[in-house]
Structures are given as structure tokens and as C-alpha cells.
Chains A and B, each alone.
Chain A
């Protein structure tokens, strides 16, 4: 018998999509039966109580979680989110239900052995429920009590060689797309860069010293599979400098129907025969492609590397060989002053170990933002408040037309005093000699 009646939630068990309600019930049943004889360190029935409190929220249409409290592990300022239920007597199993964030491996590749090891710890010391993964990228362990926090930390570091992730006003756990590991479009090794920077900046990740959160995300190409341009303060997006490589024989094979456009991405509907001119050449946003019936040509100097031709004919059209990345800065969600995407700061950087050039940009930005940023101000907001010019100044980057979609349309220009002959001072006497009062 279920501990709580959940008539509303039960309606989410039907339908084809995996039901989280069925899964929580499965965990509740597993803990109740306890086939492996686990000496559960937090209430056995917390999955049941989670269903109970969720059912109440569905009824009230309001959450029943209180404002977090400050809990954590010794020496770290993040990685644990305190969470308490506002109906602890009805749902004692989840009265204290803190979240633990674990740093996920770059690319989110796992072995069964490793995941099992994490799950064994979480089965013993937590709710048995997780998020795979949190929005930022961490493995999120959902719900445990305060006395278990240090134990979990000790276990994951000692047994699993795994650290906590970030939370609060610090570097959040960086995340990347799968990149070169399995994608022919990747312009740099996203996994290595993500992993290296995560490790190089462990102090910034665990000990809050920033005005607010700071996120790194690494996309291997302009397709943006980890959405770095929208979801990270510091977005690194792969790109290339040299000519797009074209295999003309394979272009002919696409035209002849031997390869499917987009690798078959649109195969579910009859869109007619693949028409290279209509579907590729005419859709190129810069109009820099042509096809003469036999040969596909690209005026590379006018290509903006949008990926369309490459996505559509991946076997025949490939990224240029001289690869690197663009760095963009300042994305954030709408709180407080409206949503932002990252803005282009470094058009092209070579991405090579030990990544000093990228780290220099990062550290210049951090120095400035830690000095000038207000409490709870994302770097994108600091940029807006203090100007893009200021950002260029602190990162020693020269202004260039790539930085803007268009030049300003107002003439309210702030000149620096040294840019004006004689500075801002007037010779008042001389002025009055030329002009009577």
C-alpha cells in the first residue's frame, strides 16, 4: 500500500513518455522491500514522502519547499543546496532534503561501474533520487540530511575520486558538448578544455569570491549543442579560419541521392528530391556559394561559418583545417534586467594546451568583475552598466567591427580626455576674446 494517496500524480503514469512518477514509485517500493539489506542512513520512505508533498503541491498549485538554509561541507562555499519541507510533520521523510551537486565528467560519458559506485553511495546516504543532470551540468543528488553531507563528501572523494560541483557566487561546474569525441563538426577538443579549466579553477569553483555565479560552456562549433551562447557567462564556440573543405565527388553523390541530406535528418517526410541549389546554395545566408551543375564553390572570404552547408552535406562539406574558437561573454536569464545572450569578444583564438591565451582573457575579466561588479550582478550586467568599451579595455582587446551587428545610431559618444586636443579644458579668456558676451 502506498503511504500517501496520489490521485493527481497517478494520472502522470499513463502516456508513452517515461513517467517520473512511476520511477519514484519504483524507488519507494525498492526501498520498502530492501532486497539488498541496505542500512539506509536517511528515512527509508523519503521517495514516498516526496510523492506525498508533490501531490499536495499539485493540489495547492504551490511549492512546499522552504527557502534554503546554509548547509555544506567544511571548507567549501558551494556544492550543497539546503532544502527543507514546509510540512515536515506530514512528510517527515523529506523534512530535511538537501541537494548535493557532483562534478560530472566532461562530455557526460560514463562507465556502468562508475555510475553504480555513485548510486551505491546515494542509495545508502540519500533519497535514491537524482537529476541526470542539473541545468548547469552537474550530477544532482536530490535530497539528504545534514549529518550525511560530510559522509557523502568523504565517500565520493575517497571512493569515486569525484568532487562536488559549484553553487552560489562562484564558478559553476563547466559543461561541454561531446565535440571531437563523436562529432565531425568539432573545431577543438571541448572535453579537454572543459576538464582542464574545471581543474585549474577549482578554488574559484568551491570558494565563492565572485559577485554572483559564473558559468563556462564549451560548444565545439556554431551549431551550439550545449547552448553556450544562451546559458553561460563565458561561451567558447568552435570556429575556423581557413577554407571549407569540399569533396566534389561526394557533392555529386549527394546530388545523385547516394547520401541523404542532413544525414537523413528530414527523412520522415517526402520533401522531394534533394535540390542542392534550392536547399543549400540559395539558403546560404551570405550568398557566397555557387553550383554550376557539377562543382560546388564557396567564396570563403564572405562565409560567416553558419554551418548550414556543412550540416546539410556532412560527408562532402567540412570545416576548414585551421580551427579555433570564438569567445563570447555575458549570457544570463531574465533576472534582473532582461535576458541576455553572450556578445562576441574574441573573434578567433587558437585552442591549444595549456590554454594560456584563453585563461588570460578569463582572468582579466574576473579581475575587473570582482572589482567593479555589484553584489548579485552577472558579468553580462556589469558589461551593460560599464560599457563594452570598458570590457575591451580591461581585456586589452582592440575594438573591431566584428564586435557589433551595426555601429551605433546615436552620436552621444564618450571621448577620452586624451583623445581631444588640449583635453577637456577650454581657454576661457581666448574664447571670450573671439566671442563677446
Chain B
């Protein structure tokens, strides 16, 4: 390999330097029909799952084909996306917030050609490259984080569980049979880069062991006061530890106060807490961000721990499917998962979905916990109450 210079001169870093220019302007990228009708769209229809038709006040029409994608994408795959955009869409395309790709065309003939082309493309392993779906009352693509692919704090993987869950949810991605949209998100630790706390189904990686404390190097590589102040529960105290007859500064962790958030590890690499046997997934459901009918809601913990079972996470996928299927059967039209659970009551939700209610599901974290307990005699009798 021969080093190829971009033109950057390390001796004069400011020479020809361009900074603070921000992103390219969106105006450069709009397809012509979008540019022309911006701010003047009349209405839309979903022609079939994954195909939107927007009609402008001008009478113009644009068809959008939404395809699912793995967020992790290669240069080769993106070049193929570009090739499709050039072949069918005048070289334009867009990505959605939920990692879908959208191709836009203006005529039904072009739409048919595009759909046929997309359907024909598969990866060598057999999976679809461009599955069409993700519109209306469906399970759309999963918003997720890095996992084992590229982060230092995950308690589970991201791409693996997402692939496994979406394989299982595929029929719901490609149809519109649910009472309302179901938004699934995954975050591989409590940092929640993906902020999944308001999702219909949130899959969250959690650790379950307090951190290891590497006394022999902690004081050398970490600021002890920073590590101590990083802990939200005050579980970390300064400590003197003897190593080879020498007293060194370190910390001690009060295991019973630790909730395994990993914040100390973020501040101090000598406090790792990942553990193959300890780590796993918590399942949270019933959140939403839309204001439709009811206000936005937080997701609630319904399964406190699911072990990591790579490569296909069978317990996780089974539980997600179980919840989606019961919801599909029981909820009313337009009712989001959380709205349904609130209408029937969470005790009923646990019974119908056949999920075990454990003590972990009762909030005990600070003041807000009290407001989730039941200050009422109104409840439903379910199998949980023994005669």
C-alpha cells in the first residue's frame, strides 16, 4: 500500500483547511417532483404495503417505495442502492429515520419496474436486499444502536437481535394487519443511543453484575473522584487497597446499591462490568412518541431479563412475537400497544400475553416509583390472585 495524500499537509494543518461548513444543502438533493410540490401536498394513500402515493395540489403524483435495510451497510450495498436510484428514480433517493430506504418515481409504469427490480435482488445467503414494506399498521424497521459491532459498553448485540426479530416480524413488515403501527427499537445498554424509552416494544441490553475493580491500575488510568461522582446511586466509595505490600488508592463498590448502569465504566476503564452470564435483555412495551389520540408514553418493563442467546436470540423473538400476536388479536382499530394495555389494565396484559409478573416489574427507583403503585381498589381479578 502506498500512502495516498488527500492534499492535507501535516506540517501546515491550516493550509487550505475548510471547516465549519456543515452538511450539504437539502435543496441539492430533492427529486424534481418533490422540489416542485414542497409545501403543497394535498393528501396521500398507501397503494399497497410499502408503497405510498402522494398527490400534490398541482395534480402531480409521486410514488414512494419504502424498503427495509440493515443499518449496517457496506459500500458495495450503497453503490447498488445508487445504481437502482439511477436506473429508476433519476438518481434520487432518501433514507428514513427508521433506517429504511425510499425510492421515488412518478408513474405507475415506473413503479412496476422498480418493484420488480427490487424483488429480484437477494444477498448470496438468501435474504432480501430490498424488502418492500414498513407502511401503515405494520411493524416497521427497528431503530437500533451499535452492539458488539462497534461499542465498548453493550450488554447485548444490536444487529444480531434486530435481524432475528425482523425475520420473525417479516409478515407484519410486509402487511398492514395490525390495529396500529408497532414501533420496535433496540438499545444495547442503558446509555440508549437509540432512546428507545418511548417505543411500542423496546429491547434494552442490561448488565447484572457490579463492575470489576482493577485495583492494580485504577489510580493510574482513572480520576478516582470522577469515578465516584459518576455513580448515580452513590455505590462507589474511595478505598485504600494493599497490592504487593503497597497501599494504593482505589475504590470500593457497594454491590447492593449498584444497578449496573455502567456509568462508572464510561468514566473509568478499570471498572468493566460486561459478563457473558450476567448480561441480557429487558423488554419494555407500550411507549409511543406520537400525540395521536393519547399523549406520548414511556415504555414499561414487562420482562425483566432475557438471556443473550446468539446468534438468533430465540427467547427474545418468541416473546416479541407473543406480545405482537396477542395485541393484534385483542386491540381495537387505531389503538397503540400501550393504549390497549392501559385500557384493559396491565394485570390483564400480563395474563393475556402469558408473561410472568415478577417483583422486578415493580418500580423501586426513587420517588417516581410510588406513583406507579396502585392507590385504588380498582383492579381486575386475573390468575395472579390466588383464592
Contacts and interface: CB of A to CB of B under 8 A. Distances in A.
A103 B23 contact: yes
B334 A24 contact: no
Contact of A160 (B24, B68, B269): B24
- With most chain A CB atoms within 10 A of its CB, the pick from B4, B29, B368 is B29
Nearest to B164: A12
A400 interface: no
24 contacts: A9-B311, A11-B311, A12-B160, A13-B127, A15-B170, A23-B70, A24-B74, A41-B1, A109-B26, A109-B31, A113-B91, A150-B6, A173-B23, A181-B30, A182-B64, A195-B26, A205-B22, A222-B290, A224-B290, A230-B197, A268-B175, A333-B192, A336-B261, A375-B229
A330 B311 CA distance: 37
B19 A75 contact: yes
Given A62-B279, A266-B333, A14 B26 contact: no
Interface stretch (A52-60, A345-353, A354-362, A425-433): A52-60
B150 interface: yes
B29 A65 contact: no
Contacts of B62: 182
B26 A184 contact: no
A27 B74 CA distance: 6
Interface residues on A, range: 35 or more
Contacts of A202: 20-22
Interface in A54-87: 54, 57-68, 74-76, 83
B326 interface: no
Contacts of A192: 26
Interface string A255-280: 00001101111111101000000010
A283 B4 contact: no
A151 B3 CA distance: 10
B7 A158 contact: yes
A224 B26 contact: no
Interface stretch (B46-54, B106-114, B246-254, B340-348): B46-54
Nearest to A186: B39
Nearest to B95: A108
A265 B176 contact: yes
B238 interface: no
Interface string B71-102: 11111111101110110000111111101010
Interface residues of B, number: 143
A225 B96 CA distance: 9
B232 A115 contact: no
A96 interface: no
B7 A154 contact: yes
Interface in B280-298: 287, 289-294, 296, 298
Contacts of B334: 279, 283, 308, 312
Contact of A68 (B16, B31, B71, B152): B152
A17 B18 contact: no
A27 B70 CA distance: 14
B373 interface: no
B315 to A, nearest CB: 14
A-B CB proximity, top 4 nearest: A13-B125, A15-B167, A265-B136, A333-B192
Contacts of A23: 70, 72-74, 76-77, 123
Nearest to B5: A151
Interface stretch (B141-149, B354-362, B374-382): B141-149
Nearest to B42: A184
B208 interface: no
Given A133-B95, A182-B34, A334-B192, A18 B149 contact: no
Interface stretch (A123-131, A364-372, A415-423): A123-131
A230 B22 contact: no
Given A157-B21, A335-B261, A230 B198 contact: yes
Contacts of A230: 195, 197-198, 287, 289, 296
Contacts of A63: 147-148, 151-154, 274
A119 B333 contact: no
Contacts of B43: 184, 263, 314-315
